[in-house]
Chains A and B, each alone.
Chain A
Amino acid sequence: MTKFIVRRLILGAFIVFFGALVAYAVIRSLPTSFVERMARQLSALPGAKSYSELIDQLNKMYGLDGSILEGFFKWFGYAIRGDFGYSWKFNQPVIEKFNSVIWYSVIINIFTFVLQAVICIPLGILAARKQYSATDYTVTVVALMGISLPTFFLATLLKYIFSIKLGWFDLYGIVGRMHEQMTSWQQVLDIAHHLVLPVVTLMILSIGGLMRYTRTNMLEVLNADYIRTARAKGLSEKVVINKHAFRNTMIPLISYMSYLLPTMFGGSMITETLFQIPGIGYISYQAITQGDIPFTMFYIVFIEVLTQFSLIIADISYAVADPRVRAN
C-alpha cells in the first residue's frame, strides 16, 4: 500500500512538472508585442508598478533571455519556494491575492457539493431500483437536461427570473450595498444571500452527471450475483439495498467525487464571473483576459497540482474502499 502511494505520488509530481513546462512554453510563445502591450496597459492602472519594473520582473523570474528549458528551470526554482511573483493586475504578490480569494470559491463549492450529494445519490438509487418507471424516465431526462444546459445561459436565466423579475437577489457581487453598516451576523447572512444563485446554478449543472453515474453504478450492482444471493437467502429489500447494494455503489461514487476536487478549489470560472463573486475563478478570469502573466501561470500550475492530487486521492480511496484493489 505504502509502495503504491509513493509510486503514485512520484508519478503525480512528474506530471505536474511537465504540465508546468507546457504552461510555461505556452506563455513563452505568446507574441512579445502582446506581453508588452498588456504590461503597458496594466502599468497605467492607478497604483501599479511602472512598465519597466514589470518587464524587469518578468525577465528575472521567467528567464526570458535564456532558452525555454533554461527559463523554465529558473521559474521553477522560484515557484518551488512558493514565490510566484507579483500580480500585475492586482498589485500584490500572487500568493497573497490567492489567499484572500480562495475561500469564497471553497465555500460555494462545499455548499454545492453537499446539496448535490444529498439530492443526486438518493434519486439515482431510486431510478435504478425502479428501472423504466416514470421516476426513472424523469430522472434520466432531468439529468440529461442538466448536462445540456450551458452555464452562462442558466446563470443568465436565473438572474433574469430571480434578480430582475422577482427581485429576490442582487444581480452581482458578494455583498450588498449596506454591508458595512451591518452587524457581523447580518454580514454573514448578507454573503449567504448573495451566494444562493451561484450555488443553485452550480448545483443544477452538476446534478445530471452525479445522478446518472449513481444510477448506472447502482444498476450494475443490482444485476450482480451477490444481490441475487442476498435476495435468495431471504433478506428484506431494505437490507439488500442499504447494506449490500449501496455500499458497493459507494466505491465508484467516492472516486467520482474526488474528481470534483479540482472544481472545488479551482473555482468555477464562468459561474463566478457571471455573478462577479470574487473567488479564485473570477479573479483568474480577470487575470487571464487582461494578460496578467504571473497570476495566469500560477493559476494553471495550481489547477494542475489539484488535478493530480484528486487523481491520487481517487486511486487511494479506491484502494481503501475496495479490498480487491488493495490485494493487487
Chain B
Amino acid sequence: METKNKKSFGTQKLDDERRVRVLSPGMLVFKRFVRNKLAITGLAILIVMFAFAFLGGLVSPYTQSQVFKHDEEIMKEYATCMLSTDFRYTVREGAEFPDAARATAVLAISKGDASFTYGDKTYSLVKEGDEFYTFGDALMIAKTRTLAGKFSVDALPETGFVASPEFVAAAEAAVASRSAQFEADGTFYTLINEGKSSSIYHVEPIALASKLVVDPYNESQTSLTTSFAFRYAAELASVRGEKEFELDGTRYVVTGEENDMVVSTMDGEPICSISDILVSPNANDIFLTAEFKAVIRETIRAKETKFVYVDETGENVDYRIDRVNTTYTVRTLKESRVITMFDFPSPQHLLGTDSNGMDVLTRLMYGGRISLMVGFVVVFLETLIGIVLGGISGYFGGWVDTAIMRFVDLFNCIPFYPIVMIIGTVMDKMEIDPIKRIFILMAVLGILGWTSIARVVRGQILSLREQDFMVATEATGIRVSRRIFKHLVPNVMPLLIVQATMSLGGIIITEATLSFLGLGVKYPLASWGSIINAATNVHVMTNYWFIWIPAGLLIVLTVLGFNFVGDGLRDAFDPKMKR
C-alpha cells in the first residue's frame, strides 16, 4: 500500500483534501474581490485619498486657513493733481460766511450781480480780477465807550483793524452828533449807537473766492499762507500784476508769470507758490513740499508722464503721472506687504495659493477630510434609517409595509435639490456658523436619502422571510427583534455594503455640488467643491488652472474609487450576476 501511495504522489485523488481546499464564504468573497483588477485599482485610489486627506493635514507644514503674505514693490498712488476748476473760499478770521452761502455766491458770480442775499444778510460782491472775487459784509471793527465823559475806541484785534487818531476823532464827533455815518481816512463807517457804547461797522471783504491754489514752501508757513489777509494781499497783487505787496509791515515779492507764481520775502526766502493746479497727497501723513508740487506742475504742463525727484535722503525716486480727464494721478513704487494671491506652483506651494493667499494643496487635504467625512456620516445616517424602516416594512408586511412604502414614495417625490437649496439659502441669510452648517447639511442629506436603502432592505427581507431558516427561527421561538437583527439583517449586509459604497460616491458629488454653488461648506472651512467654486470667476478659471483642476480630479478619482470598489464588491458577493 505504501508503495502504491508513493507512486501516486503528484497525481491527486478527487477527494484529496489538498485538491479541494475549503474556503470560508468570507474568504471566497475576498478572493473574488482581489481577483478583480478594477476593484483593486479602486481600493488603491481610496487608500491614497484617505492618506492624502487624513495624514496629509499632519504632514503639511501649513494650516488650512494660513494666509501667506509677501513684500512687493507696487505702483502706489502717491498724490493726486487736479486742474483747479472750482472756486476755493478763504474766510476772514472771526467773520462768518456759511457754506450754504457759497452756492448763492457762485450763482451771483455767474449772473454778474453786485450783491446777493443769503438768509437775512446781504453781501456785496466785488470782482477784483479774473476769477477772483471778494464778498463784503458789514464787519464790526471797533467799539466805542463813553465812560465818565471820557471817550475811547477799542479796535477788535481779530479783524486786524488799527484805529488811527483821525479815526478816533471822527468817531467821537459822530457819537456826539448821534449821526449814523462818519468818514475817516477817506473811508465810510457805520455807527450804531447803544447808549453809552456804540459799535462801528465797516463794509469789508470777509471772504474771497479764487481758483488759484496757494501752496506753502514750509509746513511752518501754513498758518500764514492760509490766513485771509495774506491770501487777499497776495492774490490781489497777482491779479493786478504787481510785483510787490506789503502785509503787517513785511514786504513780499511776487515772481513768475500768471498761474505759476512764487511769493517770497525781500531776502529771497520763498513763502508759497500760487498756481492753478491742485496737488494733494493720497496719505494724510505726507507733506508735499512746494518744490515737489512745482516739479509735478511743470511735468503736467510739459505733457510728460514721468519725472524724477530727489527725496529727503537724497535718492532719486521715479514717479509716473497718469491722466484721467482733468485729474492726474502720481504713482510711485512703494514697498508694501501684500497677500500672496494666485501664486503659481512653486516649491513652497506645490499647487500655488488661492484668492485668499492660502496654500491650495493644504486646503485640498483639509477639504478632503470634510468631503470624506460628510460622505461617511451621511451614508451611516441613511443606512441606519433605511435598515430600521426597510426592516420593519419587509418583516411585518401588511398595512405597515404599505404605509412605509407610501411614505417612501412621498419622500422620493420630493425634489432633492430645490429643498436642499432652500435650506442652504436660509442658512446663508441667517449667517449660520460654518461648522454648524456642516452638521445641518449632513442631517439634511441623510434624511432625504434613505429611501433607496429602505427599498433594498425591504425587498431583500421580503424574499428572505419565506426561506426555511426564518421558519426555523419562528419555530424555535426567538424574539422578533433578535430574529430581525440577528438573522435577517446579516443576510442583507452584503447588498447593504454594496449599496452604501456606491452611494458614498453620489453623496460626495452632492456635497461638492452644493459647496460649489456656495450653499454647502463655507469659508474658512474647505471642501473640494468649495475650492472649485473659485472657477465660477472666469478670470480664475482662465488663468489659474492649479486652483480648480486638482480639486476636480480628486473628486472624480475618489468617486471613481468608491464606484470601482462597490462594483467589485457586488461581483464578489454575488458571483451569479457576474458584473
Contact = CB atoms under 8 A, between A and B. Distances in A.
Task: Identify whether the interface residues of A are mostly helix, strand, loop, or mixed.
Answer: helix
Contacts of B556: 145, 148-150, 153
A103 B532 CA distance: 30
A151 B417 CA distance: 13
A92 to B, nearest CB: 20
Interface string B529-568: 1001001001001100100110010011001100110010
Contacts of B6: none
Given A38-B429, A144-B560, A144-B567, A150 B512 contact: yes
A289 B564 CA distance: 35
Nearest to B532: A153
Contacts of B516: 150, 152
A89 to B, nearest CB: 13
B47 interface: no
B415 A30 contact: no
B409 interface: yes
B505 interface: yes
B413 A308 contact: yes
Interface string B404-435: 00100110111101110110111001100000
B255 to A, nearest CB: 59
B509 interface: yes
A9 interface: no
A38 to B, nearest CB: 7
B38 interface: yes
Nearest to A136: B579
Interface string B385-420: 000000000000000000000100110111101110
A23 interface: yes
A164 B555 contact: no
Contacts of A145: 556, 560
B513 interface: yes
Contacts of A16: 413
Interface in A307-322: 307-308
B578 interface: yes
Interface stretch (A43-51, A231-239, A296-304): A296-304
- Dominant SS among interface residues on chain B: helix
B425 A304 contact: no
A23 B509 CA distance: 24
A310 B424 CA distance: 28
Contacts of B413: 15-16, 19, 304, 307-308
Interface residues of A, number: 52
Interface in A23-41: 23, 26-27, 30-31, 33-34, 37-38
A4 interface: no
A119 interface: no
A164 B532 CA distance: 17
A150 B567 CA distance: 19
Given A19-B414, A34-B429, A269-B417, A156 B560 contact: no
B404 to A, nearest CB: 14
A174 B535 CA distance: 21
Contacts of A273: 517
B431 to A, nearest CB: 11
Contacts of A216: 577
A291 interface: yes
Interface string A261-294: 0000010011001000000000011001111000
Contacts of B505: 147-148
B540 to A, nearest CB: 10
A194 interface: no
B214 interface: no
Interface string B284-320: 0000000000000000000000000000000000000
Contacts of B425: 288-291
25 contacts: A15-B410, A18-B410, A31-B426, A37-B429, A131-B578, A141-B38, A148-B505, A150-B555, A153-B552, A153-B555, A153-B556, A171-B538, A219-B578, A284-B418, A288-B425, A289-B425, A291-B429, A296-B422, A300-B414, A300-B418, A303-B415, A303-B418, A304-B414, A304-B415, A307-B412
Given A156-B541, A164-B538, 6 more contacts: A150-B529, A160-B535, A160-B542, A270-B513, A289-B517, A296-B418
**A-B residue pairs, 10 tightest by C-beta:** A153-B552, A148-B559, A303-B415, A148-B560, A19-B413, A152-B516, A150-B509, A288-B421, A144-B563, A307-B413
